[in-house]
Chain A
Amino acid sequence: MTNQIVQGILLGGYYALIACGLSFMFSVMRIINLAHGSLAVLSAFALWLLASRFHIPPFLGLAIVLPLMAVIGWALQRFLLERSARGGALLPILTTFGLAIVIDNVLFEQFGADTRSLAPFIGSLSYDSWEWPGSLYVGKLAVIIFVTAVVLLGGLQLFLTRTGLGRSIRATSEDPDTAGLVGVDARRANAIAAAIAMVTVGLAGAFLGMRATFDPYAGATQLLFAFEAAVIGGVGSLWGTLIGGIVLALAQTLGATVHPQGFLIGGHIAFLIVLFIRLYTSGLGLGGLLRLSTGKAS
């Protein structure tokens, strides 16, 4: 049991990683990017291509893919989201959904239906584990992912509170017009925020590829995980996504012990329960309580 809880918490790190970009973009631009999961899968395929075709190991490949993801994020905001957001709150949903369909099917066209994994390219890391007291075996990769998630969330938090750029992004998220009055370039702040979000998506895609398998249509599931973790933790709260990710992963682990097909069901039900509590207690869910105690994270 302890073993499963530990594994669940570590898996939660991955969910936090994929959720934080979604949550971040929502809190800054008020947009939920439905192509979020597809973009993570795109990043995984890019790393796979680099590794299998050019023999660049995934961790080194990140040096190429992450800047690329930043450019994609910037372009996404400038050419798609900014334009569609002007047409109201509903259009960006449709735009990003169209984008997700395009990405998924282009990937399918290029790479076929085979499931891939980055595990063969990271040597023994994919199965190495540490033995913890109490004969607990924890995978090195799972720990690396969890630590990366914590560092990333902490880094983002510091960036948003301590740097000028971070403050201008927060100002834009609060009120773009007023921010503009005091000299913040809202377009630039949004584009940078989108670029940062896509870097986190790229990183999440890399870990998705290393810890599991992926195929061209895997994006939808990743989007749902990201969304569930973000909502459980309270959308817009950075540390909330970590809590949300862990709750989601624990619920899935619990689901899997109840029924062989219960892994995903457990996660979805946990999401709905938290949603129910949150909606019927005027915003005071897990994330709400967390936000009250830590102040608004972003």
Chain B
Amino acid sequence: MSTASPVIERGTVASRIAGCGVAIIILLLAVAPQFLSAGVVDRMTALFIYVILAAMWNALAGFGGLVSVGQQVFFGLGAYFTIRLANAGLNPFVSLFVSAVIVGTVSWPISLLMLRLRNGEFAIGMWVIAALTHLLVNLDRLIQGETGTSLISLNVYDASTRRVTIYWLALASMTALLAVLFGLLRGSTGAAIRAIRDNEDAAASVGVRVTGTKRLLFVLAAFGIGVAGALWLATAITFQPKTYFSVQWTAYMIFMVLVGGIGTFEGAILGALLFFIIETWFGGTGVWYLIGLGATALVFSLLLPRGLWGTLEDRFGWRILSVGYRVRLPVNASDTTGGTAPPAQVTTSREKA
């Protein structure tokens, strides 16, 4: 390699340090229940579920360009199939994941129809699917309409075992799903995904399998949100269709991703953290809290469409969990990575959100 040729990097020093940091954080979280009170463990479980929701919605909207306002369908189905499987005698903890696999399977035929819709049509089309599924689940006698039912079989475990097991399952699911998404985005599919994100038609013209890639993201997101719904059921025990199939879940996902930074891997996680903090502080204020969430989402989409992380990334060239490529021109080797001229191949600039 000649000295003049550019250096292609997959990350920065910061991102390599961050990689180690993430491993340490996960280890610390894994042993955390030993030191935390029951209430805090429950809240942390909720946080993990939020991270899953944000990351999955971001995978679909931020990377696949598919904005859905019907993702609550997979959340509700994840919980519903768990109830059904547990009722059939399967171990409740096993049911959580079998249920998510079923949700992923169900999402495939849905994708055949819905992925032919574009933009707003896809968004509301998914909402129709969610509304229809909600009504059909209500017809199931086991659920007893809006009265709902409970995951009774979980009661054989005592409260503290249950709490810690669900905590670990949520942590493991979150880590695994984020790892899968990260691997997907870093691998060869990742290039295709980002090409679609930036310009679908152009991506198709250079031979990217647009529909296949989108379908992959759609099924992954359905599976992940199914896991989240099943885990939520495990923490809440009661299943009321109205709660699980509520569009509120999608509103939360949109809020988290929009504030954190749509289309950035770290942004969704940051958004989930912020949402978690806001909910802890203001969740008790009821309707004003919801007005605040809606207004914040509105303001971000108007004024800061790239979200907090997207904006910081643009301005300072931050990469923590880098999924893209960086091309460094060896003009001045002593230059810091942040100071190099932004090369065209770095996937930072986006025309379309």
Residues on B with C-beta less than 8 A from A83 are 302
Interface residues on B, range: 35 or more
- Neighbour of A98 across the interface among B138, B139, B294, CB < 8 A: B294
Residues on A with C-beta less than 8 A from B353 are 87-88, 90-91
Query: In the complex, how many angstroms separate the beta carbon of B147 from the nearest chain A beta carbon?
Result: 14
Q: Contacts A94-B67, A227-B128 given; indicate if A101 touches B297 (C-beta within 8 A).
A: yes
- Neighbour of B123 across the interface among A32, A80, A109, CB < 8 A: A32
Contact of B177 with A by CB under 8 A: no
Q: Is the interface of B mostly helix, strand, loop or mixed?
A: helix
**A101 and B351 contact, CB distance less than 8 A:** no
Query: In the complex, how many angstroms separate the beta carbon of A37 from the nearest chain B beta carbon?
Result: 10
Contact of A136 with B by CB under 8 A: no
Interface flags for A137-176 (1: CB within 8 Å of B; 0: not) read: 0000000000000000000000000000000000000000
Query: In the complex, how many angstroms separate the beta carbon of A45 from the nearest chain B beta carbon?
Result: 15
Smallest Cβ-Cβ distance to A255: which chain B residue: B135
Interface flags for A218-243 (1: CB within 8 Å of B; 0: not) read: 00110110011001000100000000
Query: In the complex, how many angstroms separate the beta carbon of A288 from the nearest chain B beta carbon?
Result: 14
**A108 and B287 contact, CB distance less than 8 A:** yes
Smallest Cβ-Cβ distance to A271: which chain B residue: B128
Contact of B290 with A by CB under 8 A: yes
Residues on A with C-beta less than 8 A from B294 are 98-102, 105
**A34 and B131 contact, CB distance less than 8 A:** no
Q: Which of B122-160 contact A (CB under 8 A)?
A: 123-125, 127-129, 131-132, 135-136, 138-139
Q: Give the CA-CA distance A205 to B11 in the complex, in Å.
A: 54
Query: In the complex, how many angstroms separate the beta carbon of A161 from the nearest chain B beta carbon?
Result: 26
Interface residues on A, range: 35 or more
Query: In the complex, how many angstroms separate the beta carbon of B168 from the nearest chain A beta carbon?
Result: 34
Q: Give the CA-CA distance A89 to B288 in the complex, in Å.
A: 29
Query: In the complex, how many angstroms separate the beta carbon of A254 from the nearest chain B beta carbon?
Result: 15
**B121 and A235 contact, CB distance less than 8 A:** yes
Q: Contacts A224-B131, A265-B135 given; indicate if A95 touches B247 (C-beta within 8 A).
A: no
Interface flags for A52-92 (1: CB within 8 Å of B; 0: not) read: 00000000000000000000000000001001100111111
Contact of A293 with B by CB under 8 A: no
Q: Give the CA-CA distance A92 to B353 in the complex, in Å.
A: 11
Q: Give the CA-CA distance A283 to B103 in the complex, in Å.
A: 30
Q: Give the CA-CA distance A45 to B320 in the complex, in Å.
A: 49
Residues on B with C-beta less than 8 A from A98 are 254, 294-298, 301
Interface residues of B (CB under 8 A from A): 61, 65, 67, 69, 113, 116-121, 123-125, 127-129, 131-132, 135-136, 138-139, 247, 251, 254, 258, 287-288, 290-291, 293-298, 301-302, 305, 351-353
- Sample 5 A-B pairs with CB under 8 A, ordered by A number: A94-B258, A94-B297, A101-B251, A268-B128, A276-B113
